[in-house]
Amino acid sequence: MSTPTGEQPTNVQPTYAPPQPQYAPPQPPSAPKGLAITALVVGIVAFLLGLVPVLGIILGLTGVVFGIIALVKRQSKAFALTGLILAALALVASCFTTAGLGAAVDSVAKEAASSQASEPSEAGASEPAAEPTPAEEPQPEPKERLTLDEGWTVAPDEYGFSTVVSGYVSNNSDKAITNYVQITFDSYDAAGANLGTCLANTNTIDANGKWKFEAHCLDTNGEIAEVRFKEITGF
């Protein structure tokens, strides 16, 4: 403010505008990163273990799921996308290794089964078939060299002095008898008492031949009631 003389008063203070306060623009809130970090960690682990059958598939699927959820919820794109890619690579690699392992196990099992099946057939082929054992034919009982044929008879002679035993003796061998042959019978009365011996002899019987004999038993009183064969001797 000036005086009438045009001089400025010395006791007047100049006026200044007060300074305006400075405000920083508000920062947008940071997005959560929990699922994205989880997807990244699982993806790294799955990538490292991707060649392990089955385990790589499990970790790969887990990492892919976490990565997709993190992207849908707009979490850290870099973490989520990196974990998703690593998990997907691990999933594919583990699928191949699991399939290869399954094929190898199946091949080994088939080879083992075929080798076990071929072993009995080879053993059977190497061993000749056993020939059936023929049934043993019953051996005929050996015949005695000299035998009395069935059908011999006992009758009194025409004179009434003796009893005559008639029949045949067979030579069952392939050798003729040329020395001596004798056939003997015992005679008994009605009470069973031995009355004596009836005999006949010859010197020759052909091989496989027969001798017709007549053995006389002395029986002047007609006591003979029974005659029993005793033996044949020959040499």
Domain boundaries, the chain: 34-122, 146-234
For the ranges 70-84, 130-144, 159-173, which has the lowest average pLDDT?
A: 130-144
pLDDT of residue 185: 92
pLDDT in tens, 184-209: 999 998 888 888 888 898 988 898 88
- Interhelix angle 77-126/55-72, rounded to 10 degrees, is 160
Return d(Cα 146, Cα 165) in angstroms, integer: 17
- Mean pLDDT across 69-94: 84
Alpha-helical segments (H) within the chain: 34-48, 55-72, 77-126
Assess whether pLDDT exceeds 50 at residue 1: no
Q: What's CA 71's distance to the chain center, in Å?
A: 60
Share of the chain above pLDDT 70, in %: 78
Q: Give me the mean pLDDT over the 152-170 stretch.
A: 86
Contact between 95 and 50 (Cβ < 8 Å): no
Residues of the chain with pLDDT > 90, as a percent, come to 8
| 13-69 pLDDT, tens digit each | 555 556 665 655 555 445 557 888 888 888 888 788 877 878 878 888 888 888 888
- For the structural domain made of 146-234, what CATH number should be given? 2.60.40.10
Please report which confidence band the pLDDT of residue 168 belongs to, taking 50, 70 and 90 as the band edges.
very high
**pLDDT (tens digit, 9 = 90+) per residue, 119-151?**
655 555 555 666 777 777 777 666 678 889 998
Rg (CA), the chain: 68
Whether 70 has a pLDDT exceeding 60, the answer reads yes
Task: Please tell me what DSSP assigns to residue 205.
Answer: B
- Return the closest-CA partner of residue 93 out of 44, 39, 52: 52
Q: What is the mean pLDDT of the chain?
A: 78
